[in-house]
Amino acid sequence: MENFIFKNATEIIFGKDTENLVGSKVKEYSKSDKILFCYGGGSIKRSGLYDRVIKSLKENGIEFIELPGIKPNPRLGPVKEGIRLCRENNIKFVLSVGGGSSADTAKAIAVGVPYKGDVWDFYTGKAEVKEALPVGVVITLPATGTESSNSSVIMNEDGWFKKGLNTVLIRPAFSIMNPELTFTLPEYQTACGACDIMAHIMERYFTNVKHVDITDRLCEAALRNVINNAPIVLKDPKNYDARAEIMWTGTIAHNDVLSAGRIGDWASHKIEHELSGETDIAHGAGLAIVFPAWMKYVYKHDINRFVQFAVRVWDVDLSYSSCEDIVLEGIRRMTAFFKSMGLPVTLKEGSIGEDKIEEMANKCTDNGTKTVGQFVKLNKDDIVKILNLAK
């Protein structure tokens, strides 16, 4: 097990009707009575959540300027617009209501406001975050885990590059999580969210670090929790208990509890960023395509870990004729699970042309100058082969 420091300061407010506390929480954490309010499309208005949030803000004397229209695979353009609004109106707090895209946009705005340069510098590694505005989140889609993570992912429309930023300064001050707010999610969004959660866990699970049995077991339990509950909510969208299980698992999957003492991989995420950057496919759907192909390509690097994954997570019987057969059956069962939720598991099913493979591999590796991943370091040629396996 590696040395580690664990600290997560995000206050989680979980349960029914908790969105009505948003005004008091903003008042507690904000340095002024004026905030920027970020959200996505019309779903929060159709559901009545928008009205409840506005009511709570007004009851607590909080003024707000709105930044609506945040799209999935969040863009840099709205980030820069949010930075402009905050600077012009002396805003010192950013509130996100919606899914991970709204929250990641809010985080990007939060680091961009005090920075004199281009906020994209943080995402390309040209600058290091020194300060950020506090952020609050009301989450409506369990998927990204951004509600208590140190991560933000943004897509630059100039070239369609999708890149991530990691810094403890963007962990939200608070996150409000009411599973009831997920009742109206379309089936496809629910499925994409479940896959995203599983991917966050698997990125941590496949590690070269030895003697990490406690977090192995936690990862396996979290994966099985999603596997057990996702079919329930797809069949019964208003099953509160199953929704709550998935929502909390999504948070644990990405708040660094499962990272303690480990070095995660993250190659599949970086490869998928090129899929969604190129085609705007939902992140969870892209991960359903990439992960099985990545596994087929790298499993021989540590076949025992993949056997463990197949047996403990997917209940593959050890009586299979060889370790390799056990591993491949585990990958087959995972792929079948993704497919059973209505997700694409090949580039063709995701409407991603083979002609894009070379370009995506180039962008992922900065034209072949960098590798991605920690479990197995992958170069451009490796990524081309993985994407070909995903055809």
pLDDT digits (tens, 9 = 90+) for 192-211: 999 999 999 999 999 999 99
Please tell me the predicted confidence (pLDDT) of residue 107: 98
Please tell me the predicted confidence (pLDDT) of residue 31: 87
Q: How confident is the model at residue 42 (pLDDT cuts 50, 70, 90)?
A: confident
CB contact at 8 A, 178 and 16: yes
The answer, yes or no, to whether residue 41 has pLDDT greater than 90, is no
Q: How confident is the model at residue 18 (pLDDT cuts 50, 70, 90)?
A: very high
The answer, yes or no, to whether residue 298 has pLDDT greater than 90, is yes
CATH no. for 11-181: 3.40.50.1970
Q: How confident is the model at residue 319 (pLDDT cuts 50, 70, 90)?
A: confident
- Residue 95 main-chain phi, psi, to 5 deg: -110, 130
C-alpha to C-alpha distance for 351 and 346, rounded to whole angstroms: 9
Provide the CA 1 distance to its chain's centre, in angstroms. 25
Please tell me the predicted confidence (pLDDT) of residue 310: 98
Task: Specify the 3-state DSSP secondary structure of 65.
Answer: strand
C-alpha to C-alpha distance for 291 and 339, rounded to whole angstroms: 13
Please tell me the predicted confidence (pLDDT) of residue 320: 82
Residue ranges, comma separated, of all CATH 3.40.50.1970 domains in the chain are 11-181
Please tell me the predicted confidence (pLDDT) of residue 33: 92
Query: Looking at residues 179-189, what average pLDDT do you find?
Result: 96
pTM of the model: 0.96
The answer, yes or no, to whether residue 165 has pLDDT greater than 90, is yes
Query: Looking at residues 46-75, what average pLDDT do you find?
Result: 96
pLDDT in tens, 110-145: 999 999 999 999 999 999 999 999 999 999 999 999
Please tell me the predicted confidence (pLDDT) of residue 315: 97
CATH no. for 185-389: 1.20.1090.10
Query: Looking at residues 142-165, what average pLDDT do you find?
Result: 96
Please tell me the predicted confidence (pLDDT) of residue 189: 96
- CA dist 228 → 15, 21, 110, 235, 253 (Å): 21, 31, 37, 12, 16
Query: Looking at residues 353-366, what average pLDDT do you find?
Result: 96
Please tell me the predicted confidence (pLDDT) of residue 23: 98
Residue ranges, comma separated, of all CATH 1.20.1090.10 domains in the chain are 185-389
The answer, yes or no, to whether residue 318 has pLDDT greater than 90, is no
- Residue 135 main-chain phi, psi, to 5 deg: -125, 140
Least confident segment among 15-29, 75-89, 317-331: 317-331
CB contact at 8 A, 356 and 278: yes
pLDDT in tens, 221-271: 999 999 999 999 999 999 999 999 999 999 999 999 999 999 999 999 999
